[in-house]
Amino acid sequence: MIRALPEKQRVALLLAVQGERSNAEIGSILGISEGAAEQLLVRARRTLREKIKEKEGAQ
Amino acid sequence: MTRDELNDALLRFGGKLERWPQPERDAARLLVKGDAVAAKMLSDFVAFEQTIAEAVHSEPFGATEIGTVLARLDTAEAGWRPSTRFWIASAGISALSFAAGFAAILMVSSQDVAPSLMDLASGKVNLGGLL
């Protein structure tokens, strides 16, 4: 499920979840602004949450 | 803070309130304290992130993907470090400087003026009574 995310969203999410990095740090690592990093995380989390809900609904 | 704002903030900052910016954190804590639905939103989100964390840890995802992330972290945290090319270039410049200095000494020592300059410098000779 996480693998299906676009690469930047996936890396941003891993940095947040695994690396416990702040949005500013993620932005710095990826070479983008803090706001852009936030948007990557928002899209990644929203997508995953919807997919998990769909999966739970199907069971 | 409203429930919608809490939802947006959860998506932006994640489920750990202690990592949120101060104003949003305070507002969220206030909301969660007095709103059972908001409190459930928060606990559901924390559970969701736990699911993600477990998925990240599971094989075969972790091995390659986390390696990539850690490599990026290492690169970002290391900052500038001298590369092999830097050291080779430095050694080359040092060798050239040494060779140039050595050549200059040979050129000077092969000319007649050198001993007289050395004598003058050491005070062995007195050029026109100047010393």
Q: In the structure encoding, which two tokens stand for residue B83, read together?
A: 């590369």
A11: left (phi over 0), alpha (psi -120 to 50) or beta: alpha
pTM across the whole model: 0.60
Report which DSSP code applies to B125: S
Widest Cα–Cα separation across chain B: 105
Contacts of A41 in chain B (CB under 8 A): 11-12, 14
Highest mean pLDDT: which range of A16-25, B70-79, B108-117: A16-25
Average pLDDT, chain B: 78
Task: Identify the pLDDT of residue A9.
Answer: 93
d(CA B41, CA B35): 10
Q: Do B56 and A16 touch (CB under 8 A)?
A: no
Range name among A40-54, B60-74, B76-90 with the lowest pLDDT average: B60-74
Average pLDDT, chain A: 89
Task: Identify the pLDDT of residue B60.
Answer: 54
- A11 with B69: CB under 8 angstroms? yes
Whether cis (ω within 30° of 0) applies to the bond prior to B60 is yes
Instruction: Pick the residue of B52, B59, B66 with the most A CBs within 10 A to test the interface with A by mutation.
Output: B52
Query: Above 70 in pLDDT, residue A6?
Result: yes
Range name among A50-59, B39-48, B67-76 with the lowest pLDDT average: B67-76
Partner B contacted by A2 (CB < 8 A)? yes
Contacts of A3 in chain B (CB under 8 A): 61, 65
